[in-house]
Amino acid sequence: MKTIGLLGGMSWESTELYYRLINEGIKAQLGGLHSARIAMVSVDFQEIEEMQHNGDWAGAGQALAQAAKQVEAAGADFLLICTNTMHKVAPQVQEAISIPILHLADATAKRIKAAGMKTIGLLGTNFTMEEDFYKGRLVEKYELDVLVPPKSDREIVHRIIYDELCLGLVEDTSRDEYLRIIEDLRSRGAEGIIEGCTEIVMLVQQQHTDVPLFDTTSIHAEEAVLEAIK
């Protein structure tokens, strides 16, 4: 079994999900008392969040690159950046290490293509919804049509992530807002929705809507399990 490298803490609530899902996946695949070989470094999200919102992506990338070096030094065979937004600095992180990054957007896009979908809605932080590091990869590499909410709704999605979900708060009123936004994306042609922030699954699960959801946290964890045992 390969050792899975996790670059976590962004936020720790979703990193906890990664740890559980990966170990459950290894047990399901191998049985018995098997658990995952994991090397993890968890950063202080307060520091990363401040750099995000100050536009200091070079500094954030440097911080993650340093943490990734620690993960590699601990024996990881490949790396997961346990957050959608920080894939913005994935190229900078990859340059700092010799092990490959299992890219979250690639894993998600493959699931969407396997489901036979072409037009997909994307929810996440403003960085993820508005910039090309994630959305552009889906369009250019996988030829998907990606829809995002209008600006006012993007602000709602972003605020709930940082002010609630990253603090472990799950509010019914916020779920209602997300479901409204999901329905709007469906009315515009979205065949499914990417939960493009690893915390969103805390708020909205498939039981809450009949619109197909692509939970990036679970998808990334499942891909890590398959990579570890292949």
- Which of 15, 197, 198, 217 is catalytic? The answer is 197
pLDDT in 10s for each residue of the chain, 230 residues:
999 999 999 999 999 999 999 999 999 999 999 999 999 999 999 999 999 989 999 999 999 999 999 999 999 999 999 999 999 999 999 999 999 999 999 999 999 999 999 999 999 999 999 999 999 999 999 999 999 999 999 999 999 999 999 999 999 999 999 999 999 999 999 999 999 998 999 999 999 999 999 999 999 999 999 999 99
Helix axis angle for 216-229 and 104-114, nearest 10°, is: 100
Tell me 84's DSSP state. Answer: S
- Which of 15, 82, 83, 216 is catalytic? The answer is 83
Tell me 3's DSSP state. Answer: P
pLDDT value of residue 133: 92
pLDDT value of residue 208: 97
pLDDT value of residue 32: 97
216 assigned to active site? no
Burial label, 31 (beta-carbon count in 10 A; 0-12, 13-18, 19+): exposed
pTM of the predicted model, to two decimals?
0.92
128 assigned to active site? no
Complete edge-to-edge strand list for the sheet that includes strand 4-8: 38-42, 4-8, 78-81
